[in-house]
Structures are given as structure tokens and as C-alpha cells.
Structure 1
Amino acid sequence: MEQREQRLQEFKAFLVKNPHIIQKVRNKERTWQDLFEDWYLFGEDDKRWLADSSESATSKQWIHSIKTKLQSLDDDQIEQYVEQCKDALEMVSGLLSQFQSQTSKKAGPSAGTKNESYMTYWK
């Protein structure tokens, strides 16, 4: 019993050193049992733990680069992009309303359902 408890404590210490492994369980990619069995069979120095660590480092670098780019954005530039998006959405909305009004004119009051009005448009 004492050896089992010691192994469990060693595994917990290993997890504290490698918090990215804990995330795999939280993300439901792995189970505690699977991780413990792999750790028990292959040890702490196995490549599988290094691969997980490098993936975590890569994701941290990616997040850091995104953060840096966001910090370097100019407020005026952001406002200009938002205005351009707003104008584009208004233009699309206008086109859609024109299309809908043309469809309803062609369908006329005799169209009973939406499908019939579309069929009239495509004839």
C-alpha cells in the first residue's frame, strides 16, 4: 500500500511540473487512468511528454504573437476598418432588400407561399 501511495505522489509531482498534461484531461482528450498508465510504463523522460510540452510552447508563442499584433494596432485604423465593414454591410443589406422587393413584385399578390414566389422569380 505504501509503494502505491508513493507512486501516486510521484505522479502528482510530475503533473505539477507539466501542467499542459492536466489540460489534456480537462479538454477530455485523455483520462487520468491513461496518463498514469503511460507515466508508469514509459517514465517521465519519454518523448510523449516532450511533444506535449512543445505543443504547449508553440501555442504560447502563437498567443504572444497575436497579443503583440493587437497591441500594435492604431485606434484610428481600427475605427476605419469598422466603418468600412459597416458600409459593406449596409450595401449588402440594400442589395438584399432590392432583391426581395423585385421578387415580391414579380410574384404578385396571387403567390400563396414563399416557395411559389421563388419559383415565379426563376421562371
Structure 2
Amino acid sequence: MGTKKLHPSVEKFKAFTKTHPLILKEVRGGKKSLQDFFEEWYILGEDDPVWEKYAAEGSETKEKTGGRSSWLNQLGAMLENLDPAQVQGHLQHLTEAITAVQNVITQFTGGQTPQSQAPQPKGPFSFRKD
């Protein structure tokens, strides 16, 4: 079976709808038919201000899906607002809490650390002499 080649104006309209995703959203919602949009596009042209509202949401969805860069921007703004002295204080409190937990564990284990029976080799490789 051979595939039919679309008319050049239909191919242009197809490319236009990819840059204006709200058109297809309204068609799927049943508000307007694709034929109606095509006729308006054919008469008004691509540069008519009518089409701005159909492209606006498309750029918003790109920002939402490309959230990685916006997330990094938010992180950068948050880091700019941090007070180094306050961060240092929080780290000091965290260190003290970890030390206290280590002391409690040492008390419960009787101050003994588990020791292995075999001596540890001095170098990175364990060789025996023949």
C-alpha cells in the first residue's frame, strides 16, 4: 500500500499545531473541530494575534516538563539566602548529637569493639612466603 502525501498547506498546519498544543487540546475537548482551526489558520495566517493564546499554555507546559533548570534556579536562590553562621551552628549541633549517640552505643557494648581473630595484613595484598 502506498502512503498518500499530504497537501503542503496541511503539512504546514500540522507543524503549526505542534507549536500551538492548545489547539489540539480544544479539539480533543470537543470545543472546536480541527477543520475549523485549519480554516481560520488558512484565512488569518500563522502570525495573527489570535494564535497567541494557543501557544501560551504550550510554553508553560514546556517549563513544567523541563523543570530541571527551574529546580536548579530555585536551589541556587535558596543557597544565596543561607546564613553561613546559622549553617555552621546546625552542623555543630548535628555533630554533638552524633557524638552522644556514639557514646550511648559504646556504653551498651561495654566499651568493647568487635575484634577479628585473624591479624590484618599490613599491605594491600596478602602474600605468604613459601
Asked which structure has the greater RCO (Cα within 8 Å, sep 6+), the reply is 2
Please report the TM-score for the alignment, with normalisation by the length of structure 1: 0.41
Per residue, is there more helix in 1 or in 2?
A: 1
